[in-house]
Structure 1
Amino acid sequence: MERITKADDRVHRPAGPWTPTVHRLLTHLHEQGFVAAPAPIALGDALETVTFVPGVAGEYPWTEDVASEAALVTTARLLRQMHDAATSFPRDDTVDVWSQAVRVPTETIVHGDFAPYNVVYDGIAAVGVIDFDTAHPGPRVWDVASAVYRFAPFTTGTDEGAPVPSLDDRLARAAEFCRAYGLDDRSRAVLVDTITAGLVALVTTIETEAAAGNPKFVSDLAHGHADLYRADVGWIEQHAEDIATALR
């Protein structure tokens, strides 16, 4: 399992072949004025050190603050600011290493796992984005689709004891996120397909990595994550027309 430790205002995390590129990205974001991401401090053979982003990550089960409309809107705006800052990242395909495949159309550098647990909150305000290991060049809608899936949420699973949101509530939250982000019509038209593509990719990753013995993904598979994502694909396809209509 990953070993992530915090000491004062620093976080020590496992490093991978992609970490030097991610550090270049984080430096660029800060240079562009996006200081809501960690700043790189050091990089060793096995560990990286980055600054700690103060606040509370949106782990499950959500607090009332994280579940609020204000948190939804500020999260969408924060994602837009990050994407805008990343568009000018000076790519160098001779040295860049990403943990994920480059996706087209390449519009910016996407986070790759934009979800509540990777967003930091100060009360009802989203103030930070963390864990850029899965960052890679791609279309803005890749992150927006992940966010809509997680924040609407469009899932058949719920936190134990939590009320199940109605379809109308989920559709309203999805539409509000896209409005707050400023998602263009072309991206809205492919959002549903992008959500399902992301979930299929997640299932493939879990099963492939688990078969290779990766302990994190062995655990994910044992806890039914792949089965949940498959069920979610079915639910989203069942409601695809309703989702598309809400986003127009």
Structure 2
Amino acid sequence: MERVTRADDRVHRPAGPWTPTVHQLLTHLHEQGFVAAPEPIALGDALETVTFVPGVAGNYPWSAEIAGEAALVTSARLLRQYHDAAATYPRSATDVWSQAERLPVETIVHGDFAPYNCVYDGIAAVGLIDFDTAHPGPRVWDVASAVYRFAPFTTGQVEGSTAPTLDERLERAAEFCRAYELDDRSRGVLVETMTASLVALVTTMETEAAAGNPKFISDLEHGHAELYRADVAYIEANADAIHQAVTAL
């Protein structure tokens, strides 16, 4: 299992073949003025060290502040700022990413933009962490993942006091797209991108588990793949309503 440890203002994390490229990305982000990401400090054979991003991650169960509208809006704006800074990353043939490139390449997507990878200072998103799944791709790949997590469009238990109604989920999805200022073309493919990202996640989970990866074996044992399949069915059943909500101006 992965172990992430913190010592004062430093975070030590397991490193992979993609970590040198991720460190180049993080350095570039800071050079572009996006200081909401960790800053690389050191890289060893099996461990990386980055700066600690102060604040509270949006882990489950959500607090009332993280479940609120301000957190939703500031998270969307943070994602837009990240994408704009990452779009100028000077790609190289020597880059190694943990995920395959997705077309059309518009930026370096985060790959797992969700509340648990955002850092909050009270009600506002102020940081973005865990770039292991970063890779070249379209902006909508991250936005679709974010809308799925933040709305949220899940059949599982929604953390918090009261599960939102479908109308409330639709409004949160639309608000995220408005705050991000997502373009019309991307809004038009958001629903299919959401389901494609979940299918890709299940495929990765099952492939890695078959290869003996303990994290993904545990995920399968805890029913994560079945939950994501149920969520795909839920999204497809409400596809027209979601599409209408996110494309309405």
Name the TM-score, length of structure 2 as normaliser.
0.98
Partner of 1:146: 145
**1:25-56 CA-partner distances (Å, limit 9, x unpaired):** 00000000000000000000000000000000
| Post-superposition offset of 1:86 | 0.5
Partner of 1:82: 82
Distance, in Å, in 2 between the alignment partners of 1:188 and 1:227 is 27
Partner of 1:230: 229
Partner of 2:242: 243
CA RMSD of aligned residues (A): 0.8
1:186 and 2:179 equivalent? Answer: no
1:123 and 2:119 equivalent? Answer: no
| Post-superposition offset of 1:159 | 3.9
Q: Is the 8 A contact 1:60 1:159 kept in 2?
A: no
SS of the residue 1:132 aligns to: coil
Partner of 2:196: 197
Partner of 1:61: 61
* 2:9 partner amino acid: D
| Post-superposition offset of 1:161 | 6.9
Distance, in Å, in 2 between the alignment partners of 1:73 and 1:137 is 24
* 2:68 partner amino acid: S
CA 1:225–1:77: 2 relative to 1, 3 Å: same
Q: How many residues align?
A: 247
Q: Is the 8 A contact 1:171 1:243 kept in 2?
A: yes
Using the aligned pairs only, state the percent identity: 80
* 1:202 partner amino acid: L
Distance, in Å, in 1 between the alignment partners of 2:90 and 2:202 is 32
Q: Is the 8 A contact 2:61 2:160 kept in 1?
A: no
**1:78-106 CA-partner distances (Å, limit 9, x unpaired):** 0000000011100002x100000000000
What is the correspondence of 1:17-166 to structure 2 with a 5 Å cutoff? 17-93=17-93, 95-159=94-158, 162-166=161-165
Partner of 1:15: 15
Distance, in Å, in 2 between the alignment partners of 1:78 and 1:59 is 17
Partner of 1:4: 4
**1:183-220 CA-partner distances (Å, limit 9, x unpaired):** 00000000000000000001101111111110000000
SS of the residue 1:247 aligns to: helix
Q: Is the 8 A contact 2:64 2:160 kept in 1?
A: no
Partner of 1:219: 218
SS of the residue 1:63 aligns to: coil
Q: Is the 8 A contact 1:154 1:232 kept in 2?
A: yes
Q: Is the 8 A contact 2:40 2:49 kept in 1?
A: yes
Partner of 1:171: 170
Unaligned runs of 5+ in 1: none
Distance, in Å, in 2 between the alignment partners of 1:83 and 1:165 is 29
Distance, in Å, in 2 between the alignment partners of 1:25 and 1:234 is 35
SS of the residue 1:137 aligns to: strand
SS of the residue 2:28 aligns to: helix
Distance, in Å, in 2 between the alignment partners of 1:138 and 1:212 is 26
SS of the residue 2:17 aligns to: coil
| Post-superposition offset of 1:160 | 6.2
Runs of 4 or more off by more than 6 Å in structure 1? none
Q: Is the 8 A contact 2:112 2:145 kept in 1?
A: yes
Unaligned runs of 5+ in 2: none
SS of the residue 1:131 aligns to: coil
**1:98-150 CA-partner distances (Å, limit 9, x unpaired):** 00000000000000000111000001000000000000000000000000000
